[in-house]
Every structure is written in structure tokens, then in C-alpha cells.
Amino acid sequence: MFYVKNVPTWERVLRVVMGMMALAFAAMNWGVSGLAVGMGIMGAMLAMTGLFGFCPMCAMVGRKLEKEH
């Protein structure tokens, strides 16, 4: 594997849910607000980090996933 998961399960679920909400907001306001583009990008990043369990920014600061017993 090329990466090591560094996001716990509860945070992965939260990231996917929040990412989908941001993508829905972006889809509803695409032609109306300039904020929609930013929300769409942020939502896509949140959803992808939640699905893969790896966050590049967390890896850059040295965050590691603790092993569960």
C-alpha cells in the first residue's frame, strides 16, 4: 500500500457526511453563488479523505492512527 490510514473510523464517517452536505449545497447553488465552487471543492476533498481514510494534511503534521485493541 502506498499510504497509511491516518483518520479514525468515526472521523471518516463524519468527513463523508459533511462532504456530501457540502457537495449538495454546491449543486443547489452552482450558478447563483461564487461560494458554491469553493464548497464543491471542499466537499469533494472531505468526501475523498473520508473514503480513503488518508488525509495528506494530517500526514504532513505527523498524525498517525492509533492501533485499536
Whether 30 maps to a domain, the answer reads yes
Whether 66 maps to a domain, the answer reads no
Whether 4 maps to a domain, the answer reads no
52 in Cβ contact with 2 (< 8 Å):
no
Whether 39 maps to a domain, the answer reads yes
Q: How many domains does the chain have?
A: 1
Q: Residue 46 has what pLDDT?
A: 95
- Whole-model pTM? 0.83
Whether 44 maps to a domain, the answer reads yes
Whether 55 maps to a domain, the answer reads no
| pLDDT grade for 69, boundaries at 50, 70 and 90 | very low
Which residue shows C-alpha cell 471543492? 41
Question: How does pLDDT run across 20-58, given as a tens digit for each residue?
Answer: 999 999 999 988 888 999 999 999 999 999 999 999 898
Has residue 14 got a pLDDT over 90? yes
Has residue 2 got a pLDDT over 80? no
Write the Ramachandran bin of 53: left for phi over 0, alpha for psi from -120 to 50, otherwise beta.
left
How crowded is residue 45: how many other Cβ atoms within 10 Å of its Cβ? 16
Which residue shows C-alpha cell 464517517? 13
Q: Give me the domain span that covers residue 20.
A: 9-50
Whether 59 maps to a domain, the answer reads no
